Amino acid sequence: MILPEIIKGEKVTLIRPYPITFDLAKEVFEAIDSSRQSLEPWFSWVEKTQKAEDSYNYLMNWCQKHWEEKSGFAYIIRENENNKLVGMIDLVKVSKSSAKTQFGYWLKKDEQGKGYMHDAVITLEKVCFDCGFNRIEIRNNTANIRSANVAKRAGYHLDGVLRQNRWDTKTQSFHDSNVWSKIKSDLENTVIK
């Protein structure tokens, strides 16, 4: 499964973080740092991202490595009007044998509620289905209403709740996760109005 390096949506463009430069890492870090309070409750990696070097290591050691192995695909999300970085979306847990993947995503706090993530999800899912995927999952902490709303608005089916499946080191407790899915036939059966 080979995905394009640039995918243009209505509101946003998804761009493979390549070439990886320290300037790009600083831009990613600044987006995370400016939204730390809104991201930290949901993502354990935020606490570990304390300087631009941490973002650089993520871009090099996860994004680049997985893209080359075709085992994961990360995209910078840039809004189309001013080309500013508003977040990221990743394909993780790519299974070629099962033709499925999982989306992970985050947006800067001041860019939430503008439809950017909705556009990113529906744009990327179409490309994924065209490239041979049959199933896409989105998982979110059941308390993360914004993330759940992205899945709902994009037409994902709530398959169920995984009870106490994630350990939160910050709260020292388990939490539940929603599992949302869309399969290729869902997209094919959607009537455009």
Helical ranges in 59-153 per DSSP H = 65-69, 116-130, 145-153
Does 71 map to a domain?
A: yes
193 within some domain:
no
Is residue 131, in this structure, part of any structural domain at all? yes
The verdict on residue 149 lying in a domain is yes
3-class SS at 167? strand
Tens-place pLDDT, residues 86-125: 999 999 999 999 999 999 999 999 999 999 999 999 999 9
1 within domain boundaries: no
Nearest CA-CA partner of 168 in 32, 43, 54: 43
Return the bridge partners of 181, or none.
137, 157
Are 91 and 128 within 8 A, CB to CB?
yes
Distance CA(186)–CA(183), nearest Å, equals 5
Asked, for residue 104, whether it belongs to a domain, the answer is: yes
39 belongs to a structural domain: yes
The answer to whether 125 and 154 are in contact (CB under 8 A) is yes
What pLDDT is recorded for position 2?
86
Average pLDDT over residues 175-190: 89
Q: What is the pLDDT of residue 168?
A: 83
Residue with the two structure tokens 């009007």: 81
The structural domain count of the chain equals 1
Looking at every residue in the chain, the average pLDDT score rounds to 95
pTM: 0.93
The CATH number that applies at residue 21 is 3.40.630.30
Helix (H) or strand (E) holding 136: strand 135-141
pLDDT band at 190 (very low <50, low <70, confident <90, very high): low
| pLDDT at residue number 193 | 40
- Domain hosting residue 54, numbered range: 6-188
The 3-state DSSP class for residue 116 equals helix
Q: Does the pLDDT value for residue 192 go beyond 80?
A: no
